[in-house]
Amino acid sequence: MAKQDDTFKKVISHAKEYGYIFGSSEIYDGLSAVYDYGQNGAELKKNIREYWWKSMVQMHENIVGLDASIFMHPTTWKASGHVDAFNDPLIDNKDSKKRYRADVLVEDFREKINQKIEKDVAKAKKRFGDAFDEQEFRSTNGNVVRRQKQMDEITTELTRVQEENDLPGFKKLIEDLDIGCPESGSKNWTDVRQFNLMFGTKLGASADSAMDLYLRPETAQGIFVNFLNVQKTGRMKLPFGIAQTGKAFRNEIVARQFIFRMREFEQMEMQFFVRPGEEMKYYEYWKETRLKWHMSLGLGEENYRFHDHDKLAHYANAAADIEFNFPFGFKELEGIHSRTDFDLKAHEEFSGKKLQYFDHELNENYVPYVVETSVGLDRMFLAVFSKSLKEETLEDGSSRVVLKLPAVLAPTKAAILPLVKKDGLPELALEIIGDLKWNFNVTYDEKDAVGRRYRRQDANGTPFCITVDHQSLEDKTVTIRDRDTMQQERVAISELGSILGEKTSYKTWLSKLK
Ligand code: GAP
């Protein structure tokens, strides 16, 4: 745990030091769980968004984009169920005065048991080597079986208290498991209460005519209310999808873990409209497709896993998370939800307008079913950034901090470095920049010895350093250094555009999905 905390602290301080993420309004001592993206962060975030958008909208003929507003008619949220059901169960510790999500306390407790199981499995794997039969071990080892049973019992009871909204039962579960306050260890708990997560605001100039509004807690509803607009104007045939990225707001009870859980965050969501009865086929399809998208970034397949939901949201008939191995363990990165016809039907009912599709093949009207993919852009940022940050010991015994961002996402694709600040080398370097900058975000750096500049760019996440030396003046070649391997190659200046294009283009990276 201490090692995890240490790694996470390094991630946070590196993000600040290199202009990726700052605390919001820091000069006023900041605002809890609200962050600003700096000069590099804004680029990385934009590139992640673009990587998602291209894979969804550009690469799928039957998916189109949308940019709906954050403010929506307040009835939207009544229809969607968010006014009545978008709650988190909260509990306070009377001694430490700390507030927690009751479900998270129980889930964290269960995860600790899971970690013990995984430790036993890993130990046995090491001991038995190739002869190890993991399935057999999991089903016969006394400790593992007992712990798994305990976990299953916790899951069943947690699901029950949530589904039945049994708040006294929730408190009893916490007490029965003997869960203490993570800060103080105290077991002196208040009752569990429900807390609505939507932020309210007002629209209008005068107090009496102002209308109560909510800041959207998910971008999805903007897609649902525009379903027919897009379907008709785009002459879309089922199955088809509408994709959107944008800000969402949630008054999270416990906003923590840096940009993992924020009160203002960005989502990248896609609603895929299908014939009723075909939703499970597409649910499986999108689970696999989204997992492949994540894996295409090369952060390590072992860092992803699916988690099927025990408790379904009020709109879903199946749901799974793609979890990622963050510095604080496996947590939700993306949700894939089969939302049935819940939302469109509810909007039909509350608006009195039909939201149906005429299926020419079946010759009938119906409300489509929806499979949703929903990933947090900030969480993607944290996943990519935290897994890319490495400390390496080099062959000569020295060490370097390197941010091995996937080249397609890196804010700056190449730094152009004149070996010395004279003899016409800066002029040639600037000429190269003048050519490359039309297609790539490149930077110029002439300060300090070239070795220090390499280190600076390594820590900044720049995948390539192009060095202009005296030979460059004679034969129009430069060296290009790869951040990850530190290998240098001499290439013609005229080839730089195509080399960078090949290594950093969306095409190169997204074609791994095929
Ligand atoms: N439209 C469905 C929906 O909003 P969700 O599971 O509540 O589903 C989807 O959220 C994704 O949004 C999550 O997987 C996560 O990546 C991101 N997300 C949710 N709450 C967040 C928060 N408070 N801070 C940052 N990201 C969040």
Q: For 67-122, what is each residue's pLDDT tens digit?
A: 999 999 999 999 999 998 888 999 999 999 999 999 999 999 999 999 999 999 99
pLDDT at 294 over 80: yes
Instruction: Provide the CATH number for the domain formed by 1-74+213-393 in this structure.
Output: 3.30.930.10
Gap between the Cα atoms of 213 and 254, Å rounded: 23
The stretch 366-384 carries a mean pLDDT of: 98
Looking from the CA of residue 376, the nearest atom of ligand 1 is 16
Q: Which residue has the higher pLDDT, 449 or 33?
A: 449
The rounded Å distance from CA 376 to ligand 1 centre is 5
Ligand 1 test: best mutation among 262, 265, 323, most atoms within 8 Å of CB? 265
Domain boundaries, the chain: 1-74+213-393, 87-196, 394-513
Looking from the CA of residue 269, the nearest atom of ligand 1 is 1
pLDDT at 512 over 70: yes
C-beta 375 within 6 A of ligand 1:
yes
Instruction: Provide the CATH number for the domain formed by 394-513 in this structure.
Output: 3.40.50.800
Sign of CA dihedral 405, 409, 413, 415: negative
pLDDT at 254 over 90: no
Looking from the CA of residue 380, the nearest atom of ligand 1 is 16
Per-residue confidence (pLDDT) for residue 487, from 0 to 100: 96
C-beta 291 within 6 A of ligand 1:
no
Query: Which residues are CB-contacts of 125 (< 8 A; sequence separation ≥ 6)?
Result: 132, 134
Per-residue confidence (pLDDT) for residue 97, from 0 to 100: 92
pLDDT at 206 over 90: no
Bridge-based pairing of strands 63-65 and 240-249 is: parallel
Query: CA torsion angle for 75, 80, 82, 86 (degrees, to 10)?
Result: 180
Task: List, in sequence order, the alpha helices (H) in 141-209.
Answer: 142-163, 167-176
* Residue 503: band (very low, low, confident or very high) from pLDDT cuts 50, 70, 90: very high
The rounded Å distance from CA 42 to ligand 1 centre is 20
The rounded Å distance from CA 35 to ligand 1 centre is 16
Ligand 1 test: best mutation among 221, 259, 263, 267, most atoms within 8 Å of CB? 267
C-beta 265 within 6 A of ligand 1:
yes
Asked if 87-196 and 394-513 have one fold, the answer is no
The DSSP symbol for 300 reads -
Would you report the helix, strand and coil content of the chain in percent, each value rounded to 5? 45, 25, 30
The rounded Å distance from CA 267 to ligand 1 centre is 7
C-beta 262 within 6 A of ligand 1:
yes
Q: Work out the end-to-end distance of the chain between its first and last CA atoms, rounded to an integer number of angstroms.
A: 38
Per-residue confidence (pLDDT) for residue 255, from 0 to 100: 67
**Which residue, judged by its Cα, is nearest atom 4 of ligand 1?**
218
CATH architecture, domain defined by 87-196:
2-Layer Sandwich (3.30)
C-beta 334 within 6 A of ligand 1:
yes
pLDDT at 310 over 90: no
Q: How many CB atoms lie within 10 A of CB 263?
A: 18
C-beta 220 within 6 A of ligand 1:
yes
**Which residue, judged by its Cα, is nearest atom 20 of ligand 1?**
261
pLDDT at 346 over 90: yes
Per-residue confidence (pLDDT) for residue 253, from 0 to 100: 81
pLDDT at 401 over 90: yes
Gap between the Cα atoms of 468 and 463, Å rounded: 17
pLDDT tens digits for 471-486?
999 999 999 999 999 9
The stretch 40-58 carries a mean pLDDT of: 98
pLDDT at 3 over 70: no
Gap between the Cα atoms of 337 and 269, Å rounded: 11
pLDDT at 361 over 90: yes
Identify each DSSP E strand in 394-476 by its residue range. Answer: 399-403, 414-418, 442-444, 464-468
For all residues of the chain together, what is the average pLDDT? 94
The rounded Å distance from CA 165 to ligand 1 centre is 22
pLDDT at 2 over 70: no
The rounded Å distance from CA 34 to ligand 1 centre is 15
**Which residue, judged by its Cα, is nearest atom 22 of ligand 1?**
261
The stretch 305-326 carries a mean pLDDT of: 88
* Residue 5: band (very low, low, confident or very high) from pLDDT cuts 50, 70, 90: confident
The rounded Å distance from CA 240 to ligand 1 centre is 23
The rounded Å distance from CA 251 to ligand 1 centre is 12
pLDDT at 167 over 90: yes
Per-residue confidence (pLDDT) for residue 439, from 0 to 100: 96
C-beta 267 within 6 A of ligand 1:
yes
* Residue 204: band (very low, low, confident or very high) from pLDDT cuts 50, 70, 90: confident
The stretch 487-506 carries a mean pLDDT of: 96
* Residue 209: band (very low, low, confident or very high) from pLDDT cuts 50, 70, 90: confident
Sign of CA dihedral 293, 299, 302, 304: negative
Per-residue confidence (pLDDT) for residue 309, from 0 to 100: 86
The stretch 151-179 carries a mean pLDDT of: 94
